[in-house]
């Protein structure tokens, strides 16, 4: 469940407010790129800075626009279990297909606490869950043993693996029946090789069709083409993380005319030096894979 290309969608802002026209435009861009899933309001979507009213409207719009074309997982994980349950219930009521739940940040719970947190959300939230193991953001790591324990819950169906360790991905693929998807664009192809079944992609905001083409090439056994697309996009992927995500990807999307280069504090737009590198890599990417434009096919 939740295999293939899911895009961790950015939240467009304009003059301090959610830019709903740009939300619609971005969803259409992703659907034109034949994504399998869309994930609003995660880290890339600046979920912690979005109000409850804004959250409700964003989810409603994304679900309505994607219905019948792509599944929608909503980022509902916080460092408060009760709040996470409430956000998951809201997503369920608005028609989402599942929830992406990052490990709690700042609190630094034990493995027992992490297991209890996820079980409570799975029990009470009403949606299938994709675990999100991202210690670089949260300062806690969900152990493989804990993942195996959580995999026994019928509503915990997938994991976004962003520890950066192929060993961890390999162990989870070997020991569980969870859908394992890459949480790092630069590791998507290696994770597919050890048994992963997709990616939650930041890169896919910009070139969804090319990322989907890489996945399908791998699935069809065309490893040379999958490797070509991986290597063609590799330096651009690195540029997307030259500063804190989603600053760089918003710069790239602004260059494509999809949204304004605006973030909410405490995040700010990338520096002039970073913008220059992102622009250069975007131009190089267009040479490597073909025109990079809204809704472009590869």
d(CA 277, CA 97): 37
CA Rg value for the chain: 18
Per-residue pLDDT of the chain (298 residues; tens, 9 = 90+): 999 999 999 999 999 999 999 999 999 999 999 999 999 999 999 999 999 999 999 999 999 999 999 999 999 999 999 999 999 999 999 999 999 999 999 999 999 999 999 999 999 999 999 999 999 989 899 999 999 999 999 999 999 999 999 999 999 999 999 999 999 999 999 999 999 999 999 999 999 999 999 999 999 999 999 999 999 999 999 999 999 999 999 999 999 999 999 999 999 999 999 999 999 999 999 988 877 764 443 3
Residue 289, pLDDT score: 84
Residue 298, pLDDT score: 31
Residue 288, pLDDT score: 85
The beta-strand segments (E) located in 55-94 are: 71-75
User: The whole model's pTM is what?
Assistant: 0.94
Cβ neighbours around 288 below 10 Å, total: 17
Q: What is the pLDDT of residues 100-156, one digit of tens each?
A: 999 999 999 999 999 999 999 999 999 999 999 999 989 899 999 999 999 999 999
Please identify every residue annotated as catalytic.
Answer: 132, 160
d(CA 113, CA 81): 10
Tokens of 290: 């073909």
Residue 296, pLDDT score: 40
SS3 206: coil
Q: What is the pLDDT of residues 161-181, one digit of tens each?
A: 999 999 999 999 999 999 999
- Strands 17-18 vs 13-14: parallel, antiparallel or unpaired: antiparallel
Question: Which residue ranges form the domains of the chain, and what is each CATH number?
Answer: 4-223 (3.20.20.70)
Q: Does residue 200 have a known ligand-binding role? A: yes
Cα–Cα distance list, 261 to 15, 75, 246 (Å): 10, 22, 10
């Amino acid at each position: 469940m939740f295999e293939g290309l899911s895009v961790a969608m950015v939240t467009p802002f304009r003059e301090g407010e959610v830019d709903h026209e740009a939300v619609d435009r971005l969803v259409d861009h992703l659907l034109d790129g034949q994504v399998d899933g869309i994930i609003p309001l995660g880290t890339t979507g600046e979920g912690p800075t979005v109000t409850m009213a804004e959250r409700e409207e964003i989810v409603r719009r994304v679900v309505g626009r994607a219905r019948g074309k792509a599944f929608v997982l909503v980022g509902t994980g916080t460092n408060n279990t009760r709040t996470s349950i409430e956000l998951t219930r809201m997503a369920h009521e608005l028609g989402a297909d599942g929830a992406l739940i990052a490990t709690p940040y700042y609190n630094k719970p034990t493995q027992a606490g992490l297991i209890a947190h996820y079980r409570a959300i799975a029990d009470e939230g009403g949606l299938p869950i994709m675990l999100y193991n991202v210690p670089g953001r949260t300062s806690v790591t969900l152990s493989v043993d804990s993942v195996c324990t959580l995999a026994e819950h019928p509503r915990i169906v997938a994991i976004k693996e962003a520890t950066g360790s192929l060993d961890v991905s390999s162990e989870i693929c070997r020991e569980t029946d969870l859908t394992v998807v890459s949480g790092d664009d630069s590791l998507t192809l290696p994770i597919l090789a050890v048994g992963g079944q997709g990616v939650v992609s930041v890169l896919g905001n910009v070139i969804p069709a090319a990322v989907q083409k890489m996945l399908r090439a791998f699935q069809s056994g065309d490893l040379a083409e999958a490797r070509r697309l991986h290597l063609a996009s590799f330096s651009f992927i690195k540029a997307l993380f030259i500063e804190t995500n989603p600053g760089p990807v918003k710069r790239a999307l602004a260059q494509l005319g999809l949204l304004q280069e605006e973030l909410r504090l405490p995040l700010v737009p990338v520096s002039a030096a970073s913008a220059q590198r992102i622009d250069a890599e975007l131009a190089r990417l267009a040479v490597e894979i073909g025109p990079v434009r809204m809704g472009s096919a590869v």
